[in-house]
Structure 1
Amino acid sequence: MESAGYRRSAGTSRGEARRQELLEAVVEDLAANGLVDFSLRRAARAAGATHKVLLYHFAGVDDLLVQAVDRLRERRIDTSLAVAGSGTLASRVAALWPVLTDPRFGHRVLEQSTGLAMYDPTRYAKFGREATDRYLPALLSLCPPDWAAERRAEVAEMVLATLRGLLLDRVTGGDEEGIAAGLRALLRALEREEQSG
């Protein structure tokens, strides 16, 4: 994969502002339309620019895609933490679900990017474990602070794996009733974990 970061526009506030504007337009397109048929040409149309303008500001289509998916992921994490509030671990995780499935946060794109990481881990490693590493601190912050670090890490990994599985099932045409049942089972497991002290 090409090195992350923009190229010739670096170093000026005007160039950075334009880069952010272009990136935001691409993020909105991805959130609405997903990754299927994503290309530099499609990104340029969404941004109201030419592909040459995008290549002036980004190191290539992979760089643009990675940065756009990162932006969607950060929005999702920030909003999830904002709605999680306080309460039990189970109630806080339950509060995340509507955000995780909200189209405004590119739910399909983020799950589709996991597929890219499986399909081509060399090119899209950032969508694999690196994405996991971005979610784990948020999930760790939801765990009771008096838990041992190892316990918090284990529970956060379980929550992440379960939510990711439910989200992937949802995107691939899963049974909504089954997904809801899986979420309820996760929440019950979290309640038991918290009650166990």
Structure 2
Amino acid sequence: MTAKERLLGGAIDYIATNGAADLSLRQVAKAIGTSHRMLIYHFASKEGLLIEVVRAVEERQRMLFAELNADESTDVGEMARRFWQRLSAAENWPYVRLLFEIYGRALQGDQRSRPLLDGLVESWLPPLTEWGIQRGLPPEKARAYARLGVAVPRGLLLDLMATGDKAAVDEAMDLFITSYETLLS
């Protein structure tokens, strides 16, 4: 593991727990046992660090998806439900809040946060498109379904963060997953 990877790992947990709004690089550095100069060296700025944190969390989610997808004996609905359970688990809520915090900054025009938007949806489309095609979606529609497969869980995660109503959000997600099962049967 490189120095940058170690720093990023510590920063992910610290920032997810403490948020990013009033965060300084000095605070992060002190909490993870380094200097703010090292963070600047590796990430260029606070916003650079935040973008790397969100991208790393997103990559973890894609790796989880790939891990669950590797078990070919699992049917579509079961795999999607397992993914949603892990994604929406309470221990992930700090990371979800952080994603939406930085997402909001970028959407409000914060030029330093704007690079976060690059690939935030696009990075999910190839694996989800391929997943859909492998399970019988028409290839000409698979990319649109993949985009829906990104948007619905993100929207429900936002709902969960706003309302805390896990049962209602889980029910909505189950309805969405059931629609996929129906489509593929």
TM-score (norm 2): 0.83
State the secondary structure of the residue aligned to 2:20.
coil
Match of 2:15 in 1: 30
Deviation at 1:165, TM superposition (A): 0.5
- The residue identity in structure 1 corresponding to 2:68 is V
Match of 1:172 in 2: 162
Q: Does 2:174 correspond to 1:187?
A: no
Deviation at 1:78, TM superposition (A): 0.3
Partner of residue 54 from structure 1, selected from 12, 27, 39: 39
- The residue identity in structure 2 corresponding to 1:186 is F
Match of 1:40 in 2: 25
Q: Does 2:149 correspond to 1:159?
A: yes
Distance 2:27 2:97 in 1: 17
17-26 or 165-174, which moves further after superposition?
A: 17-26
Match of 2:63 in 1: 78
- The residue identity in structure 2 corresponding to 1:192 is T
C-alpha distance 158-17 of structure 1, shift in aligned 2 (>3 A) = closer
Unaligned runs of at least 5 residues, structure 1: 1-15
Partner of residue 109 from structure 2, selected from 120, 143, 157: 120
**Aligned 8 A contact 1:111 1:171 in 2:** no
C-alpha RMSD over aligned residues: 2.4
- The residue identity in structure 1 corresponding to 2:81 is A
119-128 or 95-104, which moves further after superposition?
A: 119-128
Partner of residue 99 from structure 2, selected from 104, 110, 121: 110
State the secondary structure of the residue aligned to 2:59.
helix
TM-score (norm 1): 0.78
**Stretches of 4+ aligned residues off by more than 4 angstroms:** none
Query: Deviation digits for residues 110-166 of structure 1, max 9, x if unmatched?
Result: 233322232226432333352111122232232142433221111111121111100
37-46 or 113-122, which moves further after superposition?
A: 113-122
Query: Deviation digits for residues 67-117 of structure 1, max 9, x if unmatched?
Result: 122111111210232124334333222121122124358232223332223
Distance 1:189 1:75 in 2: 26
Q: Does 2:123 correspond to 1:134?
A: yes
C-alpha distance 31-148 of structure 1, shift in aligned 2 (>3 A) = same
Query: Deviation digits for residues 34-63 of structure 1, max 9, x if unmatched?
Result: 334332122212221222232233311111
> What count of residue pairs does the alignment treat as equivalent?
180
Deviation at 1:66, TM superposition (A): 1.2
Distance 2:34 2:4 in 1: 11
120-129 or 76-85, which moves further after superposition?
A: 120-129
Unaligned runs of at least 5 residues, structure 2: none
- The residue identity in structure 2 corresponding to 1:38 is L
Query: Deviation digits for residues 161-188 of structure 1, max 9, x if unmatched?
Result: 1111000111122422321221121012
C-alpha distance 49-129 of structure 1, shift in aligned 2 (>3 A) = closer
Identity %: 25
